[in-house]
Structures are given as C-alpha cells and as structure tokens.
Amino acid sequence: MSPGRRRDRHVYLRSHPLLFALVSASRRMPVRRLGRTVLVNGTDAYRQALTEVALDRSAAGTTGGSARRLTGGDLLFDQEDAAHRRARRDISHVFDSAGVARTRPLWADVLQRRVAPLAAGEPVDLVDIAAELAGVATVSLLGLNADPREVAAAARAAAAAAVREELPGWRTPGQRRAARAAVDRLTGVLRGATVSPALAGMIAVAAVNTTVASIPRAVAWCADDRLWSHAADHEVLPKLVAELLRVTAPSPVLPRAVAAPGEIGGCPVRAGDRLILVARHAAYAHKMGPDPVAPVAPRISQLVFGAGTHSCPGAGFARAQLTDTLAALAPYRPVVVAARVDRRAALPSWATLRVRAVTR
C-alpha cells in the first residue's frame, strides 16, 4: 500500500468507519442484496443503476429525502424527471465554461495569496484554503454579496446536519433544532442569489463540500506519493487531475431508492429498495492508485461524477479548481506536516491538512 493510499484510507476509517466497513466487506461482488438494501460496486452495474433504473430522488435514506425533511424545499436532487430536467437546464449557465471563466480569476487570486507563505518556509492549511476557494467560487456563481468564508462554513454545517439526519438512532429535540438552525443559517447567507433559494442551497452545499473534501485529499496524495513532477508538467497535469478525482471520489457513496421494478447487474430490484451506489469501487479507486502516465479510461474515471441524467453538472468546475490548485503548489513540492480527520463532515474529509515546502 502506497503512502498516499495509506493516508487516504485513514480518512475513511476515522470519519465514517461503519460505512467504510460495510462497503469494503461487499466490494468483491458487483451487486449484493442485504434485505431491502442493494449495494452496487461493479462498474457496469453502477452505470446501469444510474441510467436504466427509475430512481426516487426524495425517498427516505436519499440525499434528496434528507434535504426535503430539513428544508421543505424542492432541490435538484429530489425532483422528478420533468422538473429535474428543467432545473438542470437552469443550472447549466452557472457551471458552463463561461461560468468557470468568470470565476477562475477570483480563485486564482486566493491561491496566489494563500500559497505565498510556502516561499518563506511557512506551512499552509489546505482545508482552510479549499474552504475559501469554495466560498469565493460559490459567491461568484450565485451573484451573492456575502462573506465567502461564512458561505462555506454554513454550507458545510448544513451538509453535516443532513448526514446526521440519516444516521440510525433517536434524535433529541435539541438535535433537530440544531439541524434546522444549520439550514436556516445557510438560507440566510444565500439570500439574494441569482437562482431560486432551493437551487442556491443545492449549489452551495455541493460545491463547498466536494471542494473541501477533494482538494486537500488530492494534495496529500500528491505529497505522499511524490507526484509533484507530474503536476508541474502542463501536458500531464489534466491526466493527474482526472486520476486524483477518481481515487479520492469526493462523493464515494450515492444513496438512492428504486422507484419502479428493474434489474441491476442481474439482481432484480423493486420499488422501495434502497440503493447504495459505491462510486469509489465503480471507478476502481479502491484498487488502482493515481497513475497519470497510464490513467484509467475516462468512461470509468468519470463515474465519480455520476452518469447520464444523474451526472454532476459541476464536474468541469471541480477539475478546473483542482488543476489550478496543483499548478500553484507544484513549484514548492510540499510535504504534509500535520493532518487531522474531520469526524463531523458530510464527506470523508480532513479537518486540517498542513503542508510545508520542501527545502532545496
């Protein structure tokens, strides 16, 4: 096991140990049924589940179901087919190439300022940098007049609240009030967005939490497995980015529910079955490390962003942010000097990841 994989595995074991144990125990089977829950690990089965099976986006146990109970809203991930297609068209202008072009100079300024201490031998915290990058990008994309750090903090808290709602166990009135307060806080900082409040909430939660999860983990993998020479090569960098997003799989598990009878990888499914779609297994993240020289085929690596109508509209945005971050760090070839797992985050994440430039 490489140093990069060892450290990244630590994120799963410390932040979501039960979930990691469950999906790891079944990873050798493309599809496995456990009562009314179906775990989907295989590449073809995963793609089939997202493109050929009718899914209920608002059922209990799904991302949309949690969001609906917390907010009473109608978010992109809990809409039915016609509304879902309309919302995807509405969001396309936010994450299209023009949206990236408008926002890229803003996060470039953040990177230049936040990475500069490395030149003086000072450490920097990639989690804090990623949160600011995500906040600045979200404020720009949504046309907000808000503090980027506050937007990022609110989005992270709301996502963590949604995840806690799905964990087994009794909820006290205080816990439910805290969850509601987290969502109200996010709603408040997003007031004035150029899209509907529900859509603004979805964009903020997705953009912030995936950025804060993926960038520090990708940087740690680069540092531990000495991949900085690839990051410094402009021709190889895009392949490195694709590989790092594949192995980190920012949203490693997609909870879904079946809406109508169908079949996944030879396993019959029926309405009401809960699906656990394991993106990290479908994309070979559990067994193949990042290799920018001989990368995994795009049709496989891109599965970490979903497939078909269930693909992530912000995939290009995520690639651009990670590309610019690695390019900014590459001259310093930083190493990790301190790391702490975030046990409260919605996604497998670091709470702190401090790096320092290598002394030449």
173-195 average pLDDT score: 84
32-51 average pLDDT score: 94
pLDDT at residue number 151: 95
pLDDT at residue number 77: 45
- With 70 as the cut, is the pLDDT of residue 334 above it? yes
- With 90 as the cut, is the pLDDT of residue 4 above it? yes
Q: Residue type at 33?
A: R
Residue 292, classed as helix, strand or coil, is coil
Choice between 115 and 12, residue whose per-residue pLDDT is larger = 115
User: CA-to-CA distance for 112 and 94, rounded, in angstroms?
Assistant: 24
Q: Are 218 and 245 in contact (CB under 8 A)?
A: yes
Which letter does DSSP use for residue 114 in this model? Answer: H
- With 80 as the cut, is the pLDDT of residue 42 above it? yes
Q: List the alpha helices (DSSP H) in 36-147.
A: 43-51, 63-71, 81-95, 97-115, 126-142
pLDDT at residue number 102: 84
Residue 67: band (very low, low, confident or very high) from pLDDT cuts 50, 70, 90: low
Two structure tokens written together for 242: 């694709």
pLDDT at residue number 79: 45
User: CA-to-CA distance for 258 and 49, rounded, in angstroms?
Assistant: 9
pLDDT at residue number 294: 95
Q: pLDDT for 243-279, tens place per residue?
A: 999 999 988 888 889 999 999 999 999 999 999 999 9
- With 80 as the cut, is the pLDDT of residue 321 above it? yes
Q: pLDDT for 291-319, tens place per residue?
A: 999 999 999 999 999 888 788 888 888 99
For 180-239, give the DSSP string: HHHHHHHHHHTTT-SS-HHHHHHHHHHHHHHHHHHHHHHHHHHHHTT-HHHHT-TTTHHH
- With 50 as the cut, is the pLDDT of residue 230 above it? yes
pLDDT at residue number 19: 76
pLDDT at residue number 85: 55
Residue 78: band (very low, low, confident or very high) from pLDDT cuts 50, 70, 90: very low
- With 70 as the cut, is the pLDDT of residue 63 above it? no
20-36 average pLDDT score: 85
Instruction: Name the least confident of 122-131, 220-229, 252-261, 308-317.
Output: 308-317
What are the CA-CA distances from residue 43 to residues 97, 232, 244 (Å)? Answer: 29, 31, 18
Choice between 224 and 250, residue whose per-residue pLDDT is larger = 224
User: CA-to-CA distance for 321 and 241, rounded, in angstroms?
Assistant: 10
CATH 1.10.760.10 for the 3-356 domain, yes or no: no
Q: Are 278 and 252 in contact (CB under 8 A)?
A: yes
Choice between 329 and 57, residue whose per-residue pLDDT is larger = 329
Residue 163: band (very low, low, confident or very high) from pLDDT cuts 50, 70, 90: confident
Domain positions in the chain:
3-356
Q: Mean pLDDT score of the chain, rounded to an integer? A: 86
Two structure tokens written together for 332: 């310093």
Residue 57: band (very low, low, confident or very high) from pLDDT cuts 50, 70, 90: low
pLDDT at residue number 152: 95
Two structure tokens written together for 190: 């997003």
pLDDT at residue number 58: 60
- With 70 as the cut, is the pLDDT of residue 107 above it? yes
What are the CA-CA distances from residue 129 to residues 81, 246, 322 (Å)? Answer: 37, 21, 12
In percent, how much of the chain has pLDDT > 70?
Answer: 85
- With 80 as the cut, is the pLDDT of residue 340 above it? yes
Beta-carbon count within 10 A of 335 CB? 17
pLDDT at residue number 214: 95
156-179 average pLDDT score: 72
252 backbone dihedrals φ, ψ, rounded to 5°: -70, -25
Greatest CA separation found in the chain?
61
